[in-house]
Structure 1
């Protein structure tokens, strides 16, 4: 071979992207402030690279296969707003093809397949193209299902969601997919590889335009004048419902509320909300890269099946750096700062904003009210 191939050029561009990504969490307004988050930043870069290569370099849409992007147990798939209750899998698809999807529902309390667009190679979705929910399907006696999907103009990727009441014991959904038409010839030449590597680099840059998330500042450290509004830690934003137009791979069926925490060793957050009628909800502790720990590391989340409600139907969750005695207690695994998230699936209404109190850990409630 003479000269430099397009694949070589694109590979070196990808290396340049990787080399510069740590600036997003080492420098500027979003620089993280503790060694654990610095280390998490490097893990996040490599995790995101793995997902990007699964999506763009190794995928063959005419020979489809679902690949795990998040699970409750894989440390190399902790990213993008994950949680300890759900399995996510993706499959890039050809919008002109028809596919047969089959599987078994296992013990899932909610599952779906969502088709998303891709505005350009490597760009994150900004629109839901189609969604198939578990309630749309028919099942055999053993819980098996099958259905056809496509062609779906503008669809670029399918993403499955499978929420479990107890991921430590429950059976996940199994997924199979096949294309009806004959597969295309496999082309792994320089041009195809270069395009895939450039799309992967673009996907990485988009991810790190979002993370790390900020955590705001504590209210006891803030001084405001007049109507000045300050982003505060240890609080939640207003819940909102996802629409068909969205950014990233948000769940069309979900309402979300996001917050953050800054905690000393002897402090705790007491978070109370009133869950609406819904198929599933959970609360999760993230680091600043929207990632949590594995389900069997510690209790870093609680969901609607597990939670013990108060007598008035509300649910109180106690967050501390180590897990306390409350039945809905969760741990930050000693992280002093990070982010918090609620999600409610197929809710009858968008819930009210969760209430948060910062207390001494010794004063945190130990029982429901």
Structure 2
């Protein structure tokens, strides 16, 4: 049957993309090796499709709205390097328009809005074009703020970051956004819909070119996208400061260090680092899809407010497939393999590389030093 509608063609192209993407984690050199990661791969397909629909198909930069894209409370919004201490919202924008962004800081210990470019429809950002953080704003005694944004050349999307000492008890930042010029005429044309579907498909393909992350040393011919850096299993790569030109949606104010774990049931990683002076830091456990497989009744992260320090100011974390008696014990929720991520916001220097040792669980420390 000959199709005459461009939207029909684009929809079927999207279905073909979805049909093929599981090959990234089911076959080839990056194939996952345990059934939980197989399940996580399909869940990540669904998560990524949902985010793509929200940010491409249903977005209207002339009628802006914040879309929740990372949340510790929603298992369908854990992707791209999420964590249990933060909430992120995204809003596509028109670089020629003016917007007013307002809100209340709540109990945030760090919040910001970053504007990113889009090299082509659906392509991931490769450059930070603007950054507004909390200490750039006039915040009144009740925590309220308001500022104008734009026009901003090359700005395609805004992303908010709201880090909480404890998101289970803290008040999140409230965000509003309004366009300051009249909206475009309302019409969901077939051409617009086809373009949005194709942009979403491109976004999905990029995500699964990155995922799943490696555990252990990468092959020399693998990609160099995003958060993946060369590493050995049960170790961390060198920390680094995010530059303005950076693939994906990293935070310009952050330093990162990435690692991986490969643990038997009776093994643990003892991770020690000395936090620099900074606004916020945390260590989170990821599956191979850059998502925290965490639940509220387990501990899969620790931050600078919840960690118990050693007497010399360093912090030791004991990671195992279960839980141990150490005050900074973290669990992989019985995942045998996965990834780890440190982040430090507004650090006064790039942190030293975390020290890691692989031990038997029975030999892991149970007290602070």
Identify the TM-score tier after normalising by the shorter chain. Answer: over 0.9
What does the per-residue CA deviation read over 1:277-312, in whole Å, with 9 as the maximum and x for residues that have no partner?
000000000000000034514110000011111111
What's the CA shift for 1:165?
A: 0.2
Q: Is the 8 A contact 1:84 1:295 kept in 2?
A: no
Residue 165 of structure 2: aligned partner: 165
Residue 263 of structure 1: aligned partner: 263
What does the per-residue CA deviation read over 1:39-92, in whole Å, with 9 as the maximum and x for residues that have no partner?
000000010011111111000100000010001110001111000000000000
Corresponding position: 1:195 with 2:195: yes
Corresponding position: 1:5 with 2:22: no
Distance 2:200 2:7 in 1: 13
In structure 2, list runs of 5 or more residues that go unmatched: 218-229
Distance 1:246 1:179 in 2: 28
Distance 1:175 1:323 in 2: 37
Alpha-carbon distance change, 77 to 45 in structure 1, aligned in 2, over 3 angstroms: same
Residue 284 of structure 2: aligned partner: 284
Distance 2:324 2:134 in 1: 36
Residue 127 of structure 1: aligned partner: 127
What's the CA shift for 1:189?
A: 1.3
Corresponding position: 1:253 with 2:253: yes
Residue 117 of structure 2: aligned partner: 117
- 3-state DSSP class of the match of 1:11? helix
Distance 2:150 2:51 in 1: 24
Q: Is the 8 A contact 1:73 1:294 kept in 2?
A: no
The equivalences for 1:29-68 within 5 A come to 29-68=29-68
- 3-state DSSP class of the match of 1:155? coil
Residue 150 of structure 1: aligned partner: 150
Residue 177 of structure 1: aligned partner: 177
- 3-state DSSP class of the match of 1:347? coil
What's the CA shift for 1:323?
A: 1.5
The equivalences for 1:70-89 within 5 A come to 70-89=70-89
What does the per-residue CA deviation read over 1:312-366, in whole Å, with 9 as the maximum and x for residues that have no partner?
1110000000111111111100100000000000100001110000011111111
What does the per-residue CA deviation read over 1:77-127, in whole Å, with 9 as the maximum and x for residues that have no partner?
111100000000000000000000000000000000000000000000000
- 3-state DSSP class of the match of 1:169? coil
In structure 1, list runs of 5 or more residues that go unmatched: 218-229
Distance 1:176 1:99 in 2: 10
Distance 1:254 1:165 in 2: 16
Residue 306 of structure 1: aligned partner: 306
What's the CA shift for 1:231?
A: 4.7
Q: Is the 8 A contact 2:106 2:173 kept in 1?
A: yes
What does the per-residue CA deviation read over 1:9-51, in whole Å, with 9 as the maximum and x for residues that have no partner?
0000000000000000011110000000000000000100111
Q: Is the 8 A contact 2:231 2:259 kept in 1?
A: no
**TM-score with structure 1 setting the length:** 0.95
Q: Which moved more, 1:303-312 or 1:6-15?
A: 303-312
Q: Is the 8 A contact 1:168 1:295 kept in 2?
A: no
Q: Is the 8 A contact 1:284 1:292 kept in 2?
A: yes
Q: Is the 8 A contact 1:85 1:295 kept in 2?
A: no
Distance 1:298 1:187 in 2: 47
Corresponding position: 1:340 with 2:340: yes
Q: Is the 8 A contact 1:167 1:295 kept in 2?
A: no
In the TM superposition, structure 1's runs of 4+ consecutive aligned residues that sit over 2 Å from their partners are: none
**TM-score with structure 2 setting the length:** 0.95
The equivalences for 1:212-231 within 5 A come to 212-216=212-216, 231=231
Q: Is the 8 A contact 2:105 2:144 kept in 1?
A: yes
Q: Is the 8 A contact 2:231 2:237 kept in 1?
A: no
Over aligned residues, Cα RMSD in angstroms? 1.1
What's the CA shift for 1:138?
A: 1.3
